[in-house]
Amino acid sequence: MSSIPAYERDPRLTRLDTEVVAIGEQDGRPYAVLADTVLYPEGGGQPADHGSIAGVQVLDVQKSEEGIRHFLAEPVPVGPVTVELDFQRRFDHMQQHTGQHLLTAVADQQFGWHTVAFHLGERVCDIELDVPQLSAAQLEELEEAVAVEIRAARAVTARRVDEDEYQRLPVRTRGLPGGHTGSIRLVEIEGIDLNTCGGTHCASTAELEALKLLGTESMRGGTRLFYVAGRRLRRLHGAHHLRNAELRSLLGVSDDEVVERVSARLDQAKEAERTVRHLKDELATASAASMAADPARVLVAHWAKQDLPFLQRVAREIAALAPDRVVFLTCGDGADGAFVLGAGEESHVDLRALGAQVAEILGGRGGGSGTLFQGKATRLERREEAAEVVRG
């Protein structure tokens, strides 16, 4: 049996007959160690493969001192098994990872921008470059340079070399892991790049299909550059196209007019919000004046469609107009409500004690200081009972 696992010997192998040589549990998750595996363990910026062992779903694959642990949906026994790979997920990783090698090599050799980190995400990928910023023109130039190499269909190969040969080769690397012994795996893009890497890759740059740069953000004095490649790019483009079609239909405009129309609608919405706030302020002022005209010592009101800030505004207005009054205001419907107790400076009410009683009756919690006590209410059907307590 080869000491090199099947996922490295043949990255396109999707099924393997092998055996479970050890089983165990880690953090409540059952795992199996196999004699050989087609499932790549997480490492080098590439996520773990998914698949199945004896029909049981493999949720994660990680390296350990014991060997490669395959974390499972349920335990499997020691003995012969068949391992199957989710190749669609694997090939996506191959496209994104190979795309990173090509993008990094082109950025370095043609532009002098060095990659310091790489991340293969679930939706988009990114590399971190040691440049403070990149303009739109620079991104377009880089993307076109990468496209040239994709169209060139350059072979992508992997091989292992010993330490002596490694030292003689022009390898792009950030150094070997501490304590590394044995052979060193190199991945080469013909005529462009030679790099240390343990991941899985396409057989040719043509298999990338295309690579799209999505944008940048500043990070640690450098620039994080986002990209997608291959099928992931086609799916992203398809999703954007469908979204644009829905926006065109909703707005009744062409693609070129979508942003302008949405911007206009947002301006209208902001103006409408300002109008609503103004009207609510006027309503609160009018409601407070109307209630303050009532000679009752305790003033009670409920608004089904208002909110807590509205109640607070009314209570403050009444406190200013009638400082000897107490107000009990509620809003909302059912279990989603709020209440406010307000006491003017001349009312001589222990607002904190009274508020605690009201909150308990209304099934909520509250707090406050000075002339206001407010909180949530989940039993507004008991607000009349609470009002009686306020009235004393």
Tell me if 32 is assigned to some domain: yes
Which CATH number goes with the domain that contains 301?
A: 3.10.310.40
What average pLDDT score do residues 63-75 get? 95
Which comes out higher in pLDDT, residue 348 or 100? 100
pLDDT exceeds cutoff 50 at 11: yes
CB 199 within 8 A of CB 40: yes
pLDDT tens per residue, range 270-325: 999 999 999 999 999 999 999 999 999 999 999 999 999 999 999 999 999 999 99
Tell me if 127 is assigned to some domain: yes
Tell me if 315 is assigned to some domain: yes
pLDDT exceeds cutoff 70 at 232: yes
pLDDT at 307: 93
pLDDT at 44: 85
Which comes out higher in pLDDT, residue 86 or 177? 86
Tell me if 24 is assigned to some domain: yes
* CA distance linking residue 185 with residue 197, whole number of Å: 6
| Same domain, residue pair 291 and 327 | yes
pLDDT tens per residue, range 192-213: 999 999 999 999 999 999 999 9
Tell me if 98 is assigned to some domain: yes
φ and ψ at residue 164, rounded to 5 degrees: -65, -45
Range of the domain at 197: 91-238
* CA distance linking residue 12 with residue 93, whole number of Å: 12
Which CATH number goes with the domain that contains 78?
A: 2.40.30.130
| Same domain, residue pair 223 and 105 | yes
User: Around Cβ 145, how many Cβ atoms within 10 Å?
Assistant: 16
Which pair of tokens denotes residue 158?
A: 């992997």
* CA distance linking residue 68 with residue 121, whole number of Å: 22
| Same domain, residue pair 63 and 157 | no
Order of all β-strands in the sheet with 184-189: 156-161, 184-189, 193-196
pLDDT exceeds cutoff 90 at 267: yes
* CA distance linking residue 134 with residue 137, whole number of Å: 8
pLDDT at 219: 87
pLDDT at 178: 65
pLDDT exceeds cutoff 90 at 349: no
What average pLDDT score do residues 92-107 get? 97
- Side-chain half-sphere of 356: how many Cα atoms within 13 Å? 5
pLDDT at 2: 57
Amino acid at site 194: L
pLDDT exceeds cutoff 90 at 261: yes
